[in-house]
Chain A
């Protein structure tokens, strides 16, 4: 169990780092594109399309990691100003709602992915991309988010609220 938990942590960490790496690659490739175009060596025709998919993929892949860090901003007006027991109860309620949201979206994004795969949908831009490969990121992300909400829930039921530890520091 402990090994599984640490494996899961490593997976989430890797997702976060991957997202950051994607952003660094975007910076690098767009810069190179500007330079080679301006010296007349052409351009990367596929760069915009890849950038769009990368931005989408990175966001959903790393969203569970961000939840693990408690870095999804929240309004802690109420939670921060009620007695500890009430705060714990609220934490349990919000974790349950979060879990429900993740599960519902998991189910319907899976449905969307399967529907797209069955009808063999292709996206025709510069590249021809199989649509369900892209859509499949959604159920994967939602499944990880659901697991993360369960982890938070267990923690809250055991009497430890994460609200106090959440890094509200991380904004813009």
Chain B
């Protein structure tokens, strides 16, 4: 019986760890006597989240649960995952996953095992009302995920340490921030947020990486157990959408109003999100950029 060690970049039982933990339970249940996963834990108490990619690469950890943005130091191309217009099932069909997996093999020494939270997008959250997709004159807290898009909308991009975002929103140092549909309430930021801009953009997905040596060592029976759990994990899109709906209802209850763009405005808004995102991506990734854009765009 093989035992693998798994770590999540997010704290135990929080939005982006829950399904990963369920995935592990699934493997441990169906893999009795064949393969087991020892879930070591999640978040900063176990490992600096930005070191998890390297830990998977070197085999300190066998399986890691982390978004592409957390290991761009190892694989800058991981940044393109957020820009994909396809579901993971479609990507496995059209060659996009295979291309990305090859890059993971080569540069991260990892198998791109699975993707979760595939159906959850990002949003702009604001404290000042806007009536068109224009952030001119607004100070928006960014991470590298949003920088190009928000800049293209005329925002003044501001970097704020994670622990200081609440205070910064509270006293108006920043007028807004980017975040997935889910998770705002976990952080308590709903107390200092007035608006959410719809529709959402990009994919707030989390990747599950497995050390390539550990992956290669697995027998067919062991891979079978893992693969069927992966299939289950990647089928949770509808469930995730329902969870996001509930989260939106809770946001509304907490006083966050929706600013909704419709029709052509919404289309233009999304087009700008992807165009600006790809533009920045292509500038930084001349080698694999064009091919990835072709594979991931519709």
Q: Do chains A and B touch in the complex (CB under 8 A)?
A: yes
Q: Which residue of B lies closest to A51 (CB)?
A: B161
Judge whether A76 is part of the interface by a CB distance below 8 angstroms.
no
Q: Complex: how many Å from CA A102 to CA B161?
A: 32
Distance A122 CA – B76 CA, assembled complex (angstroms)? 8
Indicate if the CB atoms of B159 and A45 lie closer than 8 Å. Answer: yes
Contact A124 B160 (CB under 8 A): no
In the complex, B193 has a CB within 8 A of chain A: no
A164 lies within 8 A of chain B by Cβ: no
Of A49, A121, A122, the residue contacting B159 (CB under 8 A) is: A49
What number of A residues sit within 8 Å (CB to CB) of B? 16
How far in angstroms is the closest Cβ of chain B from A92?
A: 34
A37-B74 in contact (CB<8A):
no
Q: A37-B173, A124-B144 are in contact. Are A43 and B158 (CB under 8 A)?
A: yes
Residues 31-72 of A at the B interface (beta carbon under 8 Å): 37, 42-43, 45-49
Nearest CB in chain A: distance from B133 CB, A = 22
| B73: chain A residues within 8 A (beta carbon) | 121-124, 131
With A and B bound together, what is the CA distance between A119 and B54 in angstroms? 12
Q: Which residues of B contact A126 (CB under 8 A)?
A: 159
* Inter-chain contact B144/A42, CB cutoff 8 Å: no
CB closest chain-A residue, reference B71: A121
Inter-chain contact A121/B157, CB cutoff 8 Å: no
Q: What are 19 A-B contacts defined by CB distance under 8 Å?
A: A43-B139, A43-B158, A46-B159, A48-B159, A48-B160, A119-B74, A122-B72, A122-B73, A122-B76, A123-B73, A124-B72, A124-B73, A124-B76, A124-B79, A124-B144, A124-B284, A125-B144, A126-B159, A131-B73
